[in-house]
Amino acid sequence: MDTQRAMRLSEWVSRWQWRMPDLVLHDPDGPRECLVRAGQLVVGPDAVQPVSDELRRWVDRIDPSGRIILRDELRDRPVEVAADITDRWPAAPNHVHIGTPIMLGTPTWIGGPEILDIPGPRPPEPETWDPPVTVAVLDTGLDPHPWFAARPWLTEWGLHPEVLDHDIDGTPDWQAGHGTFVAGVLISNAPGVTIRHHRVLSSMGLTDDTTVAAAIRATRARGHIDITLITSGCYTADNRCPPTLEHELTQGDTVVVAAAGNGGSSRPFWPAALDTAVAVAATDETGTIAAFSNRGPWVNATAPGVDVTSSHVRLKTGTEGVAPGTEAREYGVARWSGTSFAAPKIAADLANLMREGHTPDQALATHSLGQPTL
């Protein structure tokens, strides 16, 4: 596996758009390149009706989530439509976010199915932290892997097992097992942390502004969250954070730790590039920024992100035709690369500081956050 090459977004879309026809790539390979949902506008709740009235000849409907759906004539132009009204309304296209293992990489299985025979690192024994430190992990879900199965938090918010083969073709999807891998990195470095897992990413590693914003609201409403860990993100045409994300992520005192992305670019990657977020780039074995990792003045933390070893779940062969989420699976460990796996290391470090009694601000001030070598 080439762990140092960044795949261009246009290359990724050309490979997968046949499976996801609602994707629109704006300004391919250009300075305003971004991936959006076809024909969707996202505006603030108070602006839905006024914007619909203003654009009425071009509006097909308002969907139950409040997104404005444009008519087919403007299906490929939500970026331009949003830009035309942003001087009057907080409007944006519905940006598509991509999970951040490297785009060319799939995990390399190195152990299993007998968990005791795995030739790799094992997490520390479970610890009980009192008071608890809670991390919301917004990802593909979390399987009852042996690393987590005995931990009481696993089922407290319900089970969200990984979907491994959504298209039922007998082969694992591109980011199947991503959330389980991320959680393994987190507990390997913070063994007493309480994880609140919430599925936002598909097994292909895709989500969007409205899905992530809704997940942030939902986790906040269910109880106190010390750290929110986000391992996906997007670019925008105007290099500004999507308004709906910025609004949700600047509420309260939760620390936001986000992967910086794997485009090998200095363009802001959202939500990591928010001033209020900790943007985590990936380093290689020499401690320098990995070639695939995003970098730039908005990146303020680094952690190892090349050939990281963690918990993994993989699809067993011969499962064609089984309903998504019920596929036969086996547990073990794997190696994977990406800023997705650097971010949970920083989240774990901050959780350990909070366990010692630091406030969120003190934890951020105390932690070195790595020394980015750009």
Q: Is the dihedral of CA 302, 190, 277, 161 positive or negative?
A: positive
Q: Write down the pLDDT at residue 116.
A: 46
Q: Write down the pLDDT at residue 373.
A: 43
C-alpha pair distances (Å), 234 with each of 117, 253, 340: 39, 23, 13
Q: How far is the C-alpha of 167 from the C-alpha of 179, rounded, in Å?
A: 19
Are the beta carbons of 90 and 44 closer than 8 angstroms? yes
Q: Is the dihedral of CA 20, 26, 29, 34 positive or negative?
A: negative
**Total length of the chain:** 374
**Nearest residue to 232 via CA among 217, 250, 211:** 211
Per-position b or e across 252-269, b if 16+ CB within 10 A of its CB? eebbbbbbbbbbbbebbb
Q: What residue spans of 30-160 are helical by DSSP H?
A: 48-54, 78-85
Q: How far is the C-alpha of 144 from the C-alpha of 159, rounded, in Å?
A: 8
CA torsion angle for 34, 38, 42, 48 (degrees, to 10)?
150
Q: Tell me the three state secondary structure of residue 316.
A: coil
Name every residue whose Cβ is closer than 8 Å to that of residue 359 and which is 6 or more positions away in sequence: none
Query: In angstroms, what is the C-alpha Rg of the chain?
Result: 20
Name every residue whose Cβ is closer than 8 Å to that of residue 191 and which is 6 or more positions away in sequence: 123, 124, 125, 126, 127
In this structure, what DSSP letter does residue 145 have?
-
What is the layout of strands, in order, in the sheet containing 308-315? Answer: 108-111, 329-336, 308-315
Q: Write down the pLDDT at residue 258.
A: 98
Q: What is the DSSP string of 2-45?
A: -SSPPPPHHHHHHHHTTT-TTEEEESTTSTT-EEEEEEEEEE-G
C-alpha pair distances (Å), 194 with each of 183, 204, 291: 10, 26, 33
Secondary structure element (H or E) that encloses residue 180, with its range: helix 178-189
Query: Left if phi > 0, otherwise alpha if psi is -120 to 50, otherwise beta: which for 184?
Result: alpha
Q: How far is the C-alpha of 184 from the C-alpha of 107, rounded, in Å?
A: 14
In this structure, what DSSP letter does residue 103 have?
T
Q: Write down the pLDDT at residue 83.
A: 96
Q: How is residue 230 written in tokens? A: 């986000």
Q: Write down the pLDDT at residue 163.
A: 86
* Average pLDDT, 10 consecutive residues per value, the chain (374 residues): 62 77 93 96 93 95 93 96 93 92 61 52 80 96 91 90 81 87 96 96 92 95 96 96 94 93 95 96 93 94 94 79 72 92 97 95 82 48
Q: Write down the pLDDT at residue 115.
A: 46
